[in-house]
Structure 1
């Protein structure tokens, strides 16, 4: 088993082309000088409705992340997926409203944007800045910690941090927590789980991933193949006589099996008549070093994936052998590997579903200066009988350009393609939300 991540599987260090738009929340600004009663009502509304605060702004949305200071803090960071730039954490510092317990940071985003996030408070252990006894709701003792100035608009220069401050902020960012004022969380392999921020148009109905009692449930079980965990999905009413069934091979089964179950997505799509009854194989992505090695266009792993349906674990699924009815799907490096597998084994996989695919990957040679190996390979090789669904987030500044390049190559070479850019980042939340519709683009009735 690999013990380290290949240097070629590490994303390139690409500077963020432009900072996210930091804005001013009218609701928050109305509290300035309004007195403690207004602030008390504000916190009561946040407790009732949940954070973050969402306000319409023309065709866009203002999303305000808030922190209520119950213990003295030096800083609070809003670590929002792909709005935070780890190379410039100063831009993620929340603002302190002077004389109150309110910290806040507002972004202007599209009305269909969504993301997961943590908040990271930098607590002050003792000394000046403690909450003043008897000072009343929302009031902080005079002489409390730093009170950051408010921006008059997009904070073009906000975020500069001295070197020592940058070291401190990196330490603070390593200890993010869920938003205590947001009841909606997104599960992680281990705590702390993340909080969820969703603009009004980001979650259209139906919500395919949410279990629906009205949808008959298929069966998901776990087995092993060559010592690797594998999850298998059978649709409701599965029988060998009803086969052969269309087949989905979905990478990172340890994610889509137990953590973010794909089974309800398939159940709901089948019940709604959006896809035919399908069977699925979900191989474990293994540890980080193994995944980073195998998912980097490894021919041996591609052969393993192609052999899965005929393995002892796959034979009783009554899966099709027709590549036109077989989809291989993955996210990030998994999207790259799904594409590579179909390109090298079109006899087994005739459809690729890639979400935020890591198409920046160069090659297995660290000194190779030619990035985006797969797009270059497709441009100069014979077209295969493979259909594609490719999608990427507009906030993924490392991945967006390579996905657009791949799109252009696929169209120029005459490949059937559906391509989508969504308002969000390199985020499992976006992948889960969008996976159902993506499957309908490739599994035809």
Structure 2
């Protein structure tokens, strides 16, 4: 049973007081109000203009053992996010204080096993029935193990609007080619998409044409295109002259993604010795390292930073979003400490909500900040950004735009 002194939310505290005084209709009135206003409950904090109180609520339809709130906020540490049961009612709730300039997705897991079987937990997720806002990440139909992801969605009052991921009022849209690329280095096949900016002519790869397009290579191609809206980002940035005309090669992942992206020299050989020569033979793109960029998200960011160290003087621009630099006891960070400086500059970002551990590994933000400091101490040029979300796709599209502007933007 909840101790009244533990209740932070004024609305929950008010309901508690009414119930213990015997106002039997108080619970029905509370749920009617939630139906109208939606959830979670957002309450201002007197004297604090940077944070709000967020209370998640769940209405149980039967007797249950527990409810867990799960997401980048409040966190992925399920045991820390068990909801409280209010008296003997059907109300379960959990209150947090959080900064008011973030966005996040979340799910509920009812009768959670409270173990480390995350696949089973994912199958048990439900949406918040009182939150009309949700986000859907569509599955990759060519991945038999993939599934649609649906999350209830919250955007707090002081989040800045997205700019570059939104369709703008122009018709200057690029096009995508798709190829099934057979890799000799990895002995497998994957999809590779090539973005061509508006006005690109397939005859533009004539060797006599002096003006070459910049070249961008991004890992996790399906995600970049279908979840992060990378094509829209490129269209908008090029149209508004924020970056030079660029082609972008989206290299897809496969079922062996972790092994490919985590310090795998053969994956680097795929990018450097296969994809780049192939792209340059088919398209009008630069061969200048200073006009060539590699980037990715999470493990893709880790792979990008690894490749520029393993294959120097190929990519002078590295765009690393929410990089998994904690991997293998921060092995790559230590490599940068011990290695000679290479001729590359970096854009690093991390979400405000990546300031908490996922399991037992170092905190994501701490590792990214450590790499930033190592790079700066080595004399690298580093642009650094904090995004208003977590390790959850919600801001990586805008982060991509920020990184492209920082690294390749027109001066």
Cross-structure match for 1:354: 320
- Paired with 2:315 and 2:7, the residues of 1 have a C-alpha distance of 47
Residues 95 and 323 (structure 1), Cα distance of their counterparts in 2 relative to 1, 3 Å cut: same
1:216-255 alignment, distance < 5 Å: 216-226=172-182, 227-239=189-201, 240=204, 243-255=211-223
- Give SS of 1:236's match: coil
Cross-structure match for 2:336: 378
Q: Are residue 27 (structure 1) and residue 11 (structure 2) matched?
A: yes
Cross-structure match for 1:335: 301
- Paired with 2:15 and 2:338, the residues of 1 have a C-alpha distance of 61
Residues 268 and 23 (structure 1), Cα distance of their counterparts in 2 relative to 1, 3 Å cut: farther
The answer to whether the Cα contact below 8 Å between 1:178 and 1:194 also exists between their aligned partners in 2 is: yes
Residues 270 and 63 (structure 1), Cα distance of their counterparts in 2 relative to 1, 3 Å cut: farther
Q: CA offsets, 1:24-75, max 9 Å, x none? A: 2223323334457665555455444543222232121222222223344332
Cross-structure match for 2:230: 262
Q: Are residue 212 (structure 1) and residue 168 (structure 2) matched?
A: yes
- Give SS of 1:209's match: coil
The answer to whether the Cα contact below 8 Å between 2:193 and 2:251 also exists between their aligned partners in 1 is: yes
Deviation at 1:223, TM superposition (A): 1.5
Cross-structure match for 2:407: 442
The answer to whether the Cα contact below 8 Å between 1:342 and 1:349 also exists between their aligned partners in 2 is: yes
Deviation at 1:360, TM superposition (A): 2.0
Cross-structure match for 1:400: 365
- The counterpart of 2:257, out of the listed 279, 286, 291, is 291
- The counterpart of 1:309, out of the listed 276, 284, 298, is 276
Structure 1: gaps spanning 5 or more residues = 1-21, 124-164, 363-370
- Paired with 2:241 and 2:83, the residues of 1 have a C-alpha distance of 46
Deviation at 1:335, TM superposition (A): 0.8
- Paired with 1:117 and 1:433, the residues of 2 have a C-alpha distance of 20
The answer to whether the Cα contact below 8 Å between 1:246 and 1:278 also exists between their aligned partners in 2 is: yes
The answer to whether the Cα contact below 8 Å between 2:134 and 2:150 also exists between their aligned partners in 1 is: no
TM-score, normalising length from structure 2?
A: 0.80
The answer to whether the Cα contact below 8 Å between 2:83 and 2:92 also exists between their aligned partners in 1 is: yes
- Give SS of 2:326's match: coil
Deviation at 1:432, TM superposition (A): 3.1
Q: Between Structure 1 and Structure 2, how many residues are aligned?
A: 369
The root-mean-square deviation of aligned C-alpha atoms, in Å, is 2.8
Q: CA offsets, 1:169-219, max 9 Å, x none? A: 9866751122222222141531342222322223x1243223334463221
Structure 2: gaps spanning 5 or more residues = 1-5, 140-146, 183-188
Cross-structure match for 2:106: 117
Residues 396 and 248 (structure 1), Cα distance of their counterparts in 2 relative to 1, 3 Å cut: farther
